[in-house]
Amino acid sequence: MAVGVLALQGQRAHSRLGVVGVEVRKPEQLDSVASLIIPGGESTTMAKLAEYHNLFPALREFVKLGKPVWGTCAGLIFLANKAYGKKEGGQELVGGLDCTVQRNFFGSRLQSFETELLVPDLASKEGGPETFRGVFIRAPAVLEVGPDVEVLADYPIPANKLPDQYRGPEPDEESSTATVKVIVAVRHKNLLGTAFHPELTADIRWHSYFLKMASELDEGSSNAVTAISATHPGFFQRPKIDLPIYLP
């Protein structure tokens, strides 16, 4: 089964899980893929390029047809129904994912970080540890979700570490020690969104989860994806030296 990668900023498709990867830059190329990944990048630039290539109508139709789409970081912004923090003049969105996101929620590239996320739903379906190494690079966050959206991961942070616009006017002693859970991974029917970058780790469980969405949505299809087992090369493996990828 061919998996497309929206390659507007030079991203490359790869076959990490043994599937065919197709780089998508034009509307007609969507006809040759069964699912699509919208990777990270600069969402405003991606939107301008997508508009230039007249991709938005085809992308929205792809979503409406119920085909699996996974957006990571900027891709999550692309899929959201609403986004805050857009640059002057705004940016067009594909939509379909019933949530509201905030661009650059965690700050600039210098505030990029890695952390262990609790992922019980992912672990129950894909096995492995209850945590996943989340790599956040100038990352967005999900502020609100619709009633049918599943929250797959959140990131607890102290209330006093929230961006200024999300803090109360006069934080008291109690609120300064409180913890707020910020949503960083969601699923809504055929759409998956992660604020972090699973492709920058050796743990392929999110990729496996996404591929299996196709067979869940289209049971019995000849294109159903074979389950990926824990014996697949690279499954759950970590680099021997697990240093942060980005340092201030």
Is 177 a domain residue?
Answer: no
Residue 225 has what DSSP assignment?
P
Residue 140 has what DSSP assignment?
-
Is 166 a domain residue?
Answer: no
Is 24 a domain residue?
Answer: yes
Is 140 a domain residue?
Answer: yes
109 is in an annotated binding site: no
Higher pLDDT, 59 or 224: 59
134 is in an annotated binding site: no
Burial 212-233 (b: 16+ CB within 10 A, else e): bbbbeebeeeeebbeebeeeee
Which is catalytic among the residues 53, 92, 199, 232?
199
Q: What domain range includes position 210? A: 3-156+182-217
Which is catalytic among the residues 73, 99, 188, 207?
73
Is 174 a domain residue?
Answer: no
Is 7 a domain residue?
Answer: yes
Give the C-alpha separation, 160 to 175, whole Å. 7
41 is in an annotated binding site: yes
Give the C-alpha separation, 194 to 74, whole Å. 9
Q: Has 199 been annotated as catalytic?
A: yes
pLDDT at 93 over 80: yes
pLDDT at 28 over 50: yes
pLDDT tens per residue across span 152-164: 999 998 877 777 6
Residue 168 has what DSSP assignment?
-
Is 36 a domain residue?
Answer: yes
Q: Which residues contact 13 (CB under 8 A, 6 or more apart)?
A: 3, 4, 5, 7, 21, 22, 23
138 is in an annotated binding site: yes
28 is in an annotated binding site: no
Based on the structure, what is the number of domains in the chain?
Answer: 1
pTM: 0.83
Looking at every residue in the chain, the average pLDDT score rounds to: 82
**Quick one: pLDDT at residue 169?**
57
Which is catalytic among the residues 99, 188, 197, 207?
197
Is 238 a domain residue?
Answer: no
pLDDT tens per residue across span 40-75: 888 888 888 999 999 999 999 999 999 999 999 999
Average of per-residue pLDDT across 207-231: 61
pLDDT tens per residue across span 171-193: 555 555 688 899 999 999 999 99
Q: Check: CB of residue 142 under 8 Å from CB of residue 170.
A: no
pLDDT tens per residue across span 109-150: 888 999 999 999 999 999 999 999 999 999 999 999 999 999
Rounded (10°) angle between helices 43-52 and 56-64: 100
Q: Has 173 been annotated as catalytic?
A: no
Q: Tell me how crowded residue 240 is: count the other CB atoms within 10 A of its CB.
A: 5
CATH number for the domain spanning 64: value is 3.40.50.880
Q: Of all helices (H) and strands (E), which one includes residue 197?
A: none
Q: Has 207 been annotated as catalytic?
A: no
